[in-house]
Every structure is written in C-alpha cells, then in structure tokens.
C-alpha cells in the first residue's frame, strides 16, 4: 500500500462512527451548480424488463421524471451500466442502453472504473431486485446485493477514494452481511443510502409523526409476500416509529405467525391496542373487499378476521418496550397507524403506492426515491440514516426465521442498534 492510499484510508476510518450510533444527515434538494458538469454514476442492475426495479430506476435516472408540476431532466449522468441477466424476449436492457446512449460494461469493477483500473464515477446505484436467482430453504431469494456491494468496496479501497452508494430495498438475507455493509460505509466514510420507496412516497393524508412524539406502538397493514413486500411494510412503520421520543434503540425479539395462529395471537387480551391500530389502518385502505359495491359490514376486528383468513403477522418488540406490528393481508395498499402513549390518540395515514397493475400506468412512487438518490450523490448527504434499513432488514431476517421454525419467538440481541433522525420530513409533498 502506498503512503497516499494509506493516509487516505486512515483518515476515512477516523471520521467513521461506530455501528448504531449515527445521527441524521439531511439531504438537500438541489440541482448541480450551474455551468458545472453533472456528477457521474455507475448503474448496477440484475435485469431490466417491464416493471422491474432496474427499469423503473434506469428510466428515471436517464430520461427524467415529473416533479413539482414540471419535467425534471436528469441531474446525474449515467457513466456506465452493468446488467447481470438478460431474460429472453422480455429483456429491455440493451434497448435502453441504445435509446439513452449509455455504455454497457461486462463487470462491476469495469463499470466503477470505466475500464481504467481506478474509481472513475461519483456514485453507485445498486438495484439487485428481480431476476433468476436461487432461493434458500427458508424461501429467501438470494439476490447479489451484498456481493455487489463488497465489489464496490474493493474498488474504493484499491482506488483510495469512496463515493456515495444507494442500495435498493433490504441489505441482505444475513444479519452478519447487513451489519458488515454498514460497517464498511462507516470505515471508509462514504454516504450509504438504502431502503424502500414507501417512506418517501406521497401520503394520504399528507402527515408525518410529530418529531419527539411519545409513541407506544406502530402498525402497518399491507400486502405481498414474505421476504419481498414485508420490507416495504416494515419501512412504512419504521419511518414513523423512529420519530418517537428518544429515537430508535433497537429490537429485542420478533415473532412471526401465519393464518389462524396469527389471528389467535392477535385476539389475546394483551393485543387490544394492536387490534385498534389494525382497524384504524384498514380504514385508510382503498382496496378492501366489497360485496355489491360496498363493505359487507362495519370494519371491525371480527370482520377483518373473517375476510382475511390467509395472513402473515410480524410482532416486533423493541428494547424500550415499543411495539411494531406488521400485517400482510389481501389488500393492495400500505396503511399506517400509530398510538400515542400520552393521550391515547391514533395517528394514521396511507403511503400512496399506485401500481401499474392497479391505479396508474407508471410507478411514480419511484420519483421521490430517485430524487433522494440524486441528492445524495450531488450533496454527499443521505436523507436518513442507513441504520433504518439495517434494522428493517434485520426484522425481515428474523421474521423469515420465525416462520421457518414454525412460529417461534426469535430473540435478536444482535439488533441493538440506536439512531435518531432530524425533524425534517423526507416524503413526497409537492
């Protein structure tokens, strides 16, 4: 190792903070300085096909998107593209590369270095969602997020320079790998932005949890599969819960249950508040089952139990006694409800997610997440701590483990992760 590189890495290590001790760094919504070239990014995707995550992000970063009543041209330049898979007949990667005048590289190191052997971009976007990848015996899809991230880290170390990285959805299927990814970002001092589109999309009504609220419990009622949409639902809850008085302190345990076992647990006397919050969240839904144009009865716990016999619930206990409960049921939206500890008030909203399959032709909830990616690369500041996604990734991992073991309580001493956020809201309000 030469002296300059050794000095660089030592300096970055010195400014890094310990795992779980991060504070919020607010991203700035700003364009590149006038007259200066746009910062350049490497785009890494598993596959580009209609409605894949890579398609959603690549189109927005290359073509632009609607913003504040106008058209926002790209604020970054895509300097390189790496795509891992090209599905027969459905592939759009090569067409998009031609359409936007991009350059496709054969590997991740080449994409980050532009073939020079040294880091040659200002940011990295990792979209490792969708594609033909194996699953383990727990049903977890083994996407290469961790593997790709480590290849980026290797380029950073070799080059003596690090740049902002965005990782779509949860970090990995292994807590050890998730924690290592966050630790790498602290060690090398680069902004690490990760997570779901749900916390930053529009809300109905457009509210946030008041910062410092004495909150008792959060509930999200959503839909979709385990190790897939559960990360979206958990981030829906966590982006509200983290604003409670004292901030986030970490997770003590996770219990995941299916179907009748879930409903039986939810019916227990000690879950009265959870039931109240579930019903409040359901009343925010625009996709409840109907008969001849309207609900068959009042929206109650009894009604929900009858209408959604197939369901999954994650019952999460935080180290400060706070509760997070997530339900995946037969609806098609994401709804939040939280209970104040001081006055028993319920705060509820829907994270608005109009999907191309229902309610829209384009997945425009990717607009604000793309905006935050651009801001992170332009300013070098993340909109919220990566510890949020570290914890939600851990919740998913523990939930999958609990289900795999037949619905047993999973203790999570490794998830003692503290962080706080600032007062500023980061969801789409224009």
Three-class secondary structure assignment of 288-356: CCCECCECCCCCCHHHHHHHCCCCEEEEEEECCCCEEEEEECCCCCEEEEEEECCCCCEEEEEECCCEC
Q: Is residue 426 part of a domain?
A: no
- Its pTM stands at 0.92
Q: Is residue 412 part of a domain?
A: no
Residue 37 is part of which domain span?
A: 3-199+363-384
Q: Is residue 73 part of a domain?
A: yes
**Predicted local distance difference test score (pLDDT) of residue 118:** 97
Same domain, 103 and 226: no
Q: Is residue 280 part of a domain?
A: yes
List of residues 6+ apart from 218 with CB closer than 8 A: 237, 238, 240, 241, 277, 322, 323, 324, 325, 336, 337, 338, 339
Same domain, 107 and 215: no
List of residues 6+ apart from 88 with CB closer than 8 A: none
Count structural domains, the chain.
2
Same domain, 268 and 145: no
Same domain, 367 and 341: no
Chain position carrying tokens 């997945």: 363
Same domain, 12 and 54: yes
DSSP 223-263: -S-TTTTHHHHHHHHHHHHTTBTT-B--EEEEEEEEHHHHH
Same domain, 50 and 195: yes
Q: Is residue 408 part of a domain?
A: no
Same domain, 210 and 124: no
Q: Across all residues in the chain, what is the average pLDDT?
A: 93
CA-CA-CA-CA dihedral for 286, 287, 293, 294, to nearest 10: -70
pLDDT tens across 143-181, in order?
Answer: 999 999 999 999 999 999 999 999 999 999 999 999 999
pLDDT tens across 367-425, in order?
Answer: 999 999 999 999 999 999 999 999 999 999 999 999 999 999 999 999 999 999 999 99
Same domain, 66 and 166: yes
Q: Is residue 429 part of a domain?
A: no
CATH code assigned at 83: 3.40.50.720
Same domain, 22 and 169: yes
Q: CB count, 10 Å around CB of 343?
A: 7
Same domain, 164 and 239: no
Same domain, 209 and 107: no
Query: Among the three residues 351, 374, 405, which one is the final residue of a domain in this structure?
Result: 351
pLDDT tens across 337-353, in order?
Answer: 999 999 999 999 999 99
Decide: helix, strand or coil at residue 149. helix
Longest dimension (CA), the chain: 75
The more confidently predicted of residues 7 and 154 is 154
Q: Is residue 424 part of a domain?
A: no
Same domain, 312 and 184: no
Q: Is residue 409 part of a domain?
A: no
Mean pLDDT of 326-341: 97
The more confidently predicted of residues 26 and 269 is 269
Whether the pLDDT of residue 8 is over 60: the answer is no
**Confidence class of residue 52 from pLDDT cuts 50, 70 and 90?**
very high
pLDDT tens across 77-117, in order?
Answer: 999 999 999 999 999 999 999 999 999 999 999 999 999 99
């Amino acid at each position: 190792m030469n002296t300059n590189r050794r000095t660089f890495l030592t300096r970055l290590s010195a400014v890094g903070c310990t795992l779980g001790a991060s504070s919020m760094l607010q991203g700035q919504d700003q364009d590149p300085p006038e007259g200066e070239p746009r910062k350049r990014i490497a785009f890494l995707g598993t596959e580009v096909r209609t409605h894949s995550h890579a398609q959603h992000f690549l189109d927005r970063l290359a073509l632009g998107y609607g913003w504040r009543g106008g058209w926002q041209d790209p604020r970054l330049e895509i300097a390189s593209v790496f795509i891992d898979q090209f599905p027969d007949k459905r592939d759009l990667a090569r067409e998009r590369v031609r359409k936007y005048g991009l350059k496709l590289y054969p590997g991740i190191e080449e994409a980050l270095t532009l073939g020079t052997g040294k880091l040659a971009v200002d940011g990295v976007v990792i979209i490792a969602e969708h594609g033909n990848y194996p699953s383990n015996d727990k049903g977890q899809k083994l996407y290469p997020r961790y593997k790709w991230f480590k290849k980026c880290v290797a380029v950073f170390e070799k080059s003596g320079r690090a740049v902002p990285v965005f990782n779509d959805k949860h970090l990995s299927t292994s807590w050890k790998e998730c924690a290592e990814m966050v630790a790498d970002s602290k060690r090398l001092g680069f902004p690490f932005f990760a997570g779901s589109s749900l916390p930053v999309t529009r809300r109905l009504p457009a509210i946030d949890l008041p910062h410092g609220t004495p909150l008792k419990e959060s509930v999200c009622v959503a839909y979709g599969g385990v190790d897939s949409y559960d990360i979206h639902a958990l981030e829906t809850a966590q982006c509200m819960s983290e604003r409670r008085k004292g901030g986030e302190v970490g997770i003590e345990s996770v219990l995941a249950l299916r179907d009748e076992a879930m409903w039986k647990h939810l019916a227990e006397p000690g879950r009265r508040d959870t039931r109240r919050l579930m019903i409040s969240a359901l009343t925010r839904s625009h996709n409840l089952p109907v008969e001849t144009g309207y609900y068959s009865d009042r929206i109650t716990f009894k009604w929900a139990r009858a209408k959604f016999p197939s369901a999954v619930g994650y019952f999460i206990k935080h180290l400060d006694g706070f509760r997070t409960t997530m339900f995946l049921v037969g609806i098609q939206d994401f709804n939040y409800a939280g209970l104040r500890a001081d006055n028993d008030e319920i705060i509820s909203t829907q994270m608005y997610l109009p999907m191309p399959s229902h309610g829209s032709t384009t997945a425009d909830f990717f607009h604000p997440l793309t905006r935050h990616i651009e801001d992170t690369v332009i300013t070098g500041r993340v909109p919220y701590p990566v510890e949020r996604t570290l914890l939600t990734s851990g919740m998913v991992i523990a939930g999958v483990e609990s289900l795999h073991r037949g619905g047993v309580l999973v203790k999570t001493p490794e998830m003692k992760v503290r962080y706080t956020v600032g007062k500023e809201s980061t969801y789409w309000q224009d």
